[in-house]
Amino acid sequence: MTLKAFVRDLTPPALWRVIQSFKGRYKTYPSRDAAAAAAGNYDDSILNRFRAERAKTAPPTPLQDNALIWLVRILPGPLSVVDFGGATGGVGMTLREHAPDLRFTVVETPALVGLMQETDGITFSTSMPAACDVFYSSGTLQYVPDPYAVLEQAFSAARQAVVLKRNYFSERPIIRVHHSRLFQNGAGPVPDGYQDLITSYPSATVQENRVHEIAARHGFVLYTRTPEFDGVTIPDEGAYGAQLVFLRK
């Protein structure tokens, strides 16, 4: 028996999983496919059921540092907003308190969309609408297989503005498996019947200069750029975050 196997046999299974996930946090992978093979599935049924149930009692989503809040005040309405990776629509619910005529579409995975119900002014879809006034995404681009294809769609669809928040930028690709605990997903009281399991999914940095190139190609200019570190889950050398707001010329 190897020393590793001996230690594993003496360690409680739950603690062993935590130890292994901690070690994996700092490992890099040569490709996203390699990271995906080492990770779980973000479209996991337990994760999505948990998010949908927790959303029923979640408090309002705070937007004090979010550019969307002032965009809906200065842009002529009624506005249509697309939130790519918007989970259970908390951002839309808060925005509609400031702009009741706003139409909000959340683009999410099929499993989560199947669990959510349309509410007043908020719809859920698995595909990007052909057009909207504002495209918004927060902490999502680093987890999709091709963020640049998403951005091409985003800048093509948006008529007035694009807001990208909680980004994980780097000029050189950094590919990892992101680990988080189940109870870190969402806000508010934790629903009964769940254990605080570890979820994992591949993560890859995005090149900011390519974002600007795509924006310019579609007729957008950078309006504001605010440094932030919300989306930088691991402080890699050369990795950084920033909220970007683009307006159509």
| pLDDT tens by residue, 38-74 | 988 776 889 999 999 999 999 989 888 899 999 998 9
Structural domain contains residue 33: no
- Does the pLDDT at position 153 exceed 90? yes
pLDDT tens-place string over residues 69-115: 999 989 988 999 999 999 999 999 999 998 999 999 999 999 999 99
**What domain range is 55 assigned to?**
43-171+206-248
Task: Note the pLDDT of residue 118.
Answer: 84
Q: What percent of the chain has pLDDT over 70?
A: 87
Are the beta carbons of 95 and 63 closer than 8 angstroms?
yes
Summary mean pLDDT of the chain: 87
Specify the CATH number for the domain of residue 238: 3.40.50.150
Structural domain contains residue 182: no
Task: Note the pLDDT of residue 11.
Answer: 47
Q: How confident is the model at residue 162 (pLDDT cuts 50, 70, 90)?
A: very high
Structural domain contains residue 225: yes
Q: How confident is the model at residue 12 (pLDDT cuts 50, 70, 90)?
A: low
Structural domain contains residue 119: yes
Task: Note the pLDDT of residue 119.
Answer: 83
Structural domain contains residue 106: yes
Are the beta carbons of 43 and 189 closer than 8 angstroms?
no
Task: Note the pLDDT of residue 7.
Answer: 35
Report the domain count for the chain.
1
Structural domain contains residue 63: yes
Structural domain contains residue 112: yes
pLDDT tens-place string over residues 191-232: 999 999 888 989 999 999 999 999 999 999 999 999 998 767
Structural domain contains residue 86: yes
